[in-house]
Every structure is written in structure tokens, then in C-alpha cells.
Amino acid sequence: MTKKVDNSTYLNYLLHSLNVDDLKEICREYNIRGYSRLKKSELIEFIIDSLAEEEIADLIKEKELRIIGEAIDLAIKKINGQDRETVESIKIVNEKNHEVEILFKGFNWENVVFLAINPRNIDNPLRDCDCRIGANMGFCSHFWVGFIFSLKQGYFKLSDWTLTNLPEDLEEKIESIKITTPTTSGEKSSEVSLIDEDSPNYKLLQHDRVTIYNGEITEIVKKESDFQGNITIYYLITLKDAKIGPQLKKASDKDEEAIFSIDKVLLRLSENAFNKVKVDVGDKITCNGGVDQDSFLGVMLKRVTSFKKVKA
């Protein structure tokens, strides 16, 4: 792999993924002095200016794969709805130039990343993001979601990618991620989405409502929300080893082949439903629930009904 971006510029991209404490540790490691009062952006510039070319190359070799690997893992979690921030929408804004815009939503915030990977710029693609890392051309997790989408869309081949080194197991990690809807060509905007067929939540997300036939409670957390002065009490219940299937109108319609297992699933239960059953950690339960991708808690079940203990 021949990187066409010079090492100083590339290190600048990488270091924006680190926090101030990590950057100060680099200063101590390379005996750089006079950094204590510097802010993050100043600290990054100071480090690069203070290092010899061979030291910059060594630092890239030391930090690169860890920084990139962690960001890619976080990107996959966002795709799977397992992070506090999830993919809300993906738009192809210019098919010819491979321009993609992705909206991410958290509990009370949004981030938008723009990325265009094409043969003319693949050495250092056009990119921008609202987050602090991406705003400085760094390789944020939002960038890697766009990277994965662009790769799956056929905009480039991994063999043509020279800007960064990549984890050896990248292809294996993203093999099960698919684009779920066809795109349109031309200049028109086209909305699509990414799913990971190996994600624990993939089968769950195929249904509007499901039945949990059996699951063991591992955690119960009492919560309180205040909306315009109205206090609502509810419970977040975590289950392990849940046996789940689509909710049926008649029990006689149960199909064993449609039942699947999930290692961990979260339920939101009303105070009234909780008080009726009075469960504890270690109890096994059954219930019905609506599948919801919460912007803060991820994939979970809400509007839970028929909540009961399973007899031992």
C-alpha cells in the first residue's frame, strides 16, 4: 500500500481521535516539553511540529490500527443499533460523484457526515462531519459508516484503498452488512439503509411485535420521566437467553422454526404491569412487546403486554 498523503498530514488526521490525556501521554513518551497549557488542536499541532520524520512514522505505526479498529467497531455498533447514536437515514445526493450524506441521531443530538469516495479522490476522499473528530478530517465512526456503505454500494474496492491501513479481519466483520433497498441513478436523492444480518437484533427488527416465550431477568431499573409536570414511573428490565418469535393471533399458529434466541434484550414495562407481577432478578418471564429502535437505549421492546412469570 502506497499512501499519497504525507505522514505529518496523516498523523494529524489520526490524532484527532485521541483525547487530551492520550495526547499528553505521547508528549511524555517522546520527551516533548511545554505542552501543559495547550488545547487539543494546539497540542496536536505541537506534537507534529516537535517530532522528527522517523518519529512521526513510528507514532503512526504504533497508533494507527488501534485508532482505526476502534472507530470501525463503533461504526458497526451504530449500524446495528447497539450504540447511543444510531443511523437515522442514508441519502445518495449525487450518484455520479458517489456523494453520500448520513444522518445520525442520539438522545438529544444529531450528527451528519458527508463522504464522496470516487476514482478521482480515493487517495484522500472528500469528507466532512459535524463531530469534532470528523470536522478536522479525522477518521470518526461516522466516516467509517459512510466508508462501509460506499464499499457495499460498489463505489470502490478495498484493493484500491491507500489512505489508511485497515484491520486484517475487516472484510469478515462487515461481510453480513447489506444495503436493504435499491438505489436510483442520476442526480436525484435516494434514501437507503444498512443492516447487519449477523447482528443479534437483526431478526428482532424484522417484526413489529414479538412474543418472548422465555427469558431470565438479569437487571431491573426503576425510572422516572417528567413531561409537563406529569410524572411517569416505568421499569427497564434486561433479559438474557430470550426465546422470541413473532406475536401471533392464535397460540395454535406457533411455528417452532420461527423462534430465535437473543443473548440480551431490554424491555420497558409500565409501573402498573410491574406491580401486578412483582418480579425479581433471576425470575423467568414471558410477554408480548412492540419492537422499537430507541435513539438512546437502542433496540428494545416497548408497549409490553401479557407480562407473566414462567413457572419453573
Q: 102 with 192, same domain? A: yes
Q: Which of 196, 220, 249 is the last residue of a domain?
A: 196
Asked whether residue 56 is domain-assigned, the answer is yes
Judge whether 217 and 238 are in contact, CB under 8 Å: yes
pLDDT tens track for 25-79: 999 999 999 998 899 999 999 999 999 999 999 999 999 999 999 999 999 999 9
pLDDT tens track for 60-70: 999 999 999 99
Q: 27 with 160, same domain? A: yes
Q: 174 with 263, same domain? A: no
Asked whether residue 1 is domain-assigned, the answer is no
Asked whether residue 2 is domain-assigned, the answer is no
User: The pTM is what?
Assistant: 0.73
Q: 164 with 271, same domain? A: no
Range of the domain at 282: 204-309
Q: 165 with 192, same domain? A: yes
Tell me the mean pLDDT in the region 246-270. Answer: 87
Q: 65 with 171, same domain? A: yes
Q: 264 with 164, same domain? A: no
The answer on pLDDT for 308 being more than 90 is: yes
CATH code, domain with 227: 2.40.50.1040
Q: 18 with 164, same domain? A: yes
Q: 180 with 231, same domain? A: no
Asked whether residue 188 is domain-assigned, the answer is yes
| Residue pointed to by grid coordinates 517522546 | 30
Domain count, the chain: 2
pLDDT of residue 231: 87
Q: 169 with 215, same domain? A: no
pLDDT of residue 234: 94
Supply 148's cell numbers: 462501509
pLDDT tens track for 165-191: 999 999 999 999 988 764 333 444 456
Q: Which of 168, 196, 224 is the last residue of a domain?
A: 196
Q: 256 with 149, same domain? A: no
Q: Which of 169, 196, 223 is the last residue of a domain?
A: 196
Q: What is the mean pLDDT of the chain?
A: 90
Q: 190 with 209, same domain? A: no
Tell me the mean pLDDT in the region 141-156. Answer: 97
pLDDT tens track for 91-111: 999 999 999 999 999 888 999
Which residues are CB-contacts of 292 (< 8 A; sequence separation ≥ 6)? 299, 300, 301, 302, 303
pLDDT of residue 81: 82
The answer on pLDDT for 11 being more than 50 is: yes
